[in-house]
Homo-oligomer: A and B are copies of this chain.
Amino acid sequence: MKEKLDELKARLLEINDLDSAASVLSWDQNTYMPPGGAAARGRQMGTLARISHEKATDPNLGRLLDELMADVNSLDPDSDDACLIQVAHRDYQRAVMVPSDFIGRFYAHMAASFQSWTEARPESNFNKVLPFLEKTLEFSRDYANFFPGYEHIADPLIANADYGMKATRVRAIFQALRARLVPLVQAITSCPPIDSSFLQNHFPEKDQIHFGEMVIKAMGYDFNRGRQDKAPHPFTTKFANDDVRITTRVNENDLGDALFSTIHEAGHAFYELGVNPAFDGLPIGQGTSAGIHESQSRLWENIIGRSKPFWSHFYPLLVDLFPNQLHGISLDQFYKAINKVERSLIRVDADEVTYNLHVMLRFDLELDLLEGKLKVKDLPEAWRERFKQDIGIVPDSDRLGVLQDVHWYAGTIGGSFQGYTLGNILSAQFYAEALKAHPSIEDKIAAGNFQT
C-alpha cells in the first residue's frame, strides 16, 4: 500500500503543480498583466486546465484509486491517508464526468469573458458582456448535464464549491433567513440614520494600505508567506502552503473599503496558511468548502474586525495616522459608523444585516437562469426588481448592479454565491463555540493579542 500511496501523492502533486501554475497566471492577470497579454493568457490558462484535467482523469489514476479504495478499510478511517484516498477518489469520479476539451474551451471562454467584463464594468455596458454571459450560461448548463440524475440543475455546480449541499436545501435555509431579514432592514432603516460621513473623507491610498497591512500583521499574517497586491476584485490565492497571497482595492474616499476587504481576505489566507504542511499540494490540503472558507473570512472581517474590543485597540492607531480626517470622532462614533446598517448597492461593501440579501438575490437569479425561467438579456431588469423588493432601492447603472461582481464573468453561473451566506451562518456558530472554550478572547483582542 505504501508504494501505491506514494504513486498517488506524486500524481496528485503533479496535478496540483499545474493548477498552482494556472493560479499564478490568473493572479498576474488580475494584478499586473498589461492589456496586450489577455488573448494569449486565455489560451495559456486553457492549455494548463486541459492538461490538468487530462491528468486528473487518467485511467491509470482511476485504477490506482480503485485499488486503494479496495484496501481503505484496513486503515484507521480518521487517518490522513484514508481521508486522502477517499477525497481523491471522489474528485476523480467527478472529474471523469467532464470531457477534457470542454474544460479547455470553457477556460478560454472565461478568460475572454473576464477581459470583456474589465472593460464593460467601468463603462456600465452590460451589452458588452451579454454574448459572453449567454455562452457562460450554456457552458454552465452543459456542465451540470455531465452529472445526470441531479435533483436540481444547480446541484452539480453547487457541489464544486459546497460539496453535499443541494439547491433545495440552500433555498430553504435562505427563505427562512430572508423572511426575517427583509423586515429587519426595514425596521432599522426607519430609525434615524447613524452619521458615518467622516468615513468618506479623503484617506490617501498609501496610508490605507499601510494601516491594513499593520492590522493583518498584528492578527498574524506573515509577509514571508504571502503578500498583498491591488486587484479590481479582491481575492485570496494559494500557490503553496507557504505562499498564500491576498489582494485588495482602495477607494481613497472610503476608509472601510480596503480595510475590511484586507481583513476579509486575510481571514481566507489564515485558513490556508494554517493547513498541515504535510498536506501541501494534496486535495486534503485545501479548504473543505466555500462555506467553511467564507466562515473564516467573515469571522475576521465582521465578528472580530467590527467589534468594540478590536477597535479599542486599533482606533487610537488609526487616529494617529489620520488625525485630521478623524478629528473629534470618538471610538463609539467610529464603532457605530463601521457597523451602520443601510440600504446599499454593492455586496462587498454591504453591512452584516443586508449582506445576505445581496447574496440570496444572486443565488435565486442563478437558479432562475439555470432553470430557464430568466433570460440573460433580462438579467439587469430582474436584478433591479428583486433589489427593490429586498433592499428597497434600485441601482441606476449596471456598474452598480449586475456588473459589480466578477463571479459570473469568470466562472460558471451557479455555485458561486451560496457559500457567502452559509459562511456567515457558520462564522457566528464557530465564534460562539470559541468564546465558550476561551472566554478571555475579547479581552485579549482589546489588548492587541490575537494568539488565542
What B residues does A368 contact at CB under 8 A?
none
Can you offer 13 A-B residue contacts whose CB atoms are under 8 A? A17-B43, A17-B47, A18-B47, A21-B25, A21-B44, A34-B223, A34-B224, A34-B242, A35-B224, A36-B224, A36-B226, A40-B240, A40-B243
- A234 CB within 8 Å of chain B: no
- The smallest beta-carbon distance between A63 and chain B, in angstroms, is 21
- A120 CB within 8 Å of chain B: no
Residues of A within 8 A of B (CB): 13-14, 17-18, 20-22, 24-25, 28, 32-37, 39-41, 43-44, 46-48, 51, 222-227, 229, 239-243, 245, 280-281
The closest CB in chain B to the CB of A273 belongs to: B36
Q: Which of B20, B32, B37, B41 contacts A229 (CB 8 A)?
A: B32
- The smallest beta-carbon distance between A205 and chain B, in angstroms, is 15
The closest CB in chain B to the CB of A18 belongs to: B47
Taking a contact as CB atoms under 8 Å apart, the answer to whether A239 and B24 are in contact is: no
Taking a contact as CB atoms under 8 Å apart, the answer to whether A14 and B239 are in contact is: no
In angstroms, Cα B241 to Cα A83, docked, is 45
What B residues does A229 contact at CB under 8 A?
32
The main secondary structure of chain A at its interface with chain B is helix
Additional A-B contacts beyond A13-B47, A35-B224 (10; CB < 8 A): A14-B47, A24-B25, A24-B28, A36-B224, A36-B226, A36-B242, A37-B240, A39-B240, A40-B242, A41-B239
Stoichiometry (number of copies): 2
The closest CB in chain B to the CB of A40 belongs to: B240
What B residues does A222 contact at CB under 8 A?
36
In angstroms, Cα B35 to Cα A242, docked, is 8
- The smallest beta-carbon distance between A35 and chain B, in angstroms, is 5
The closest CB in chain B to the CB of A21 belongs to: B21
- The smallest beta-carbon distance between A20 and chain B, in angstroms, is 5
Taking a contact as CB atoms under 8 Å apart, the answer to whether B280 and A34 are in contact is: no
Taking a contact as CB atoms under 8 Å apart, the answer to whether B44 and A227 are in contact is: no
Q: Report if A48-B17 is in contact (Cβ < 8 Å); known contacts: A34-B243, A37-B239.
A: yes
- The smallest beta-carbon distance between A353 and chain B, in angstroms, is 37
- The smallest beta-carbon distance between A452 and chain B, in angstroms, is 24
In angstroms, Cα B294 to Cα A390, docked, is 63
What B residues does A224 contact at CB under 8 A?
34-36
Taking a contact as CB atoms under 8 Å apart, the answer to whether A243 and B14 are in contact is: no
- The smallest beta-carbon distance between A42 and chain B, in angstroms, is 10
In angstroms, Cα B27 to Cα A25, docked, is 11
What B residues does A35 contact at CB under 8 A?
224
What B residues does A242 contact at CB under 8 A?
34, 36-37, 39-40
What B residues does A40 contact at CB under 8 A?
20, 239-243, 280-281
What B residues does A281 contact at CB under 8 A?
40, 43
In angstroms, Cα B44 to Cα A250, docked, is 32
What B residues does A46 contact at CB under 8 A?
17
In angstroms, Cα B34 to Cα A245, docked, is 9
Taking a contact as CB atoms under 8 Å apart, the answer to whether B243 and A41 are in contact is: yes
Taking a contact as CB atoms under 8 Å apart, the answer to whether B32 and A227 are in contact is: yes
In angstroms, Cα B43 to Cα A44, docked, is 19
In angstroms, Cα B41 to Cα A281, docked, is 12
Question: Which of A40, A46, A222, A225 has the most B CB atoms < 10 Å from its CB?
Answer: A40
In angstroms, Cα B17 to Cα A51, docked, is 11
Q: Which of B17, B243, B280 contacts A33 (CB 8 A)?
A: B243
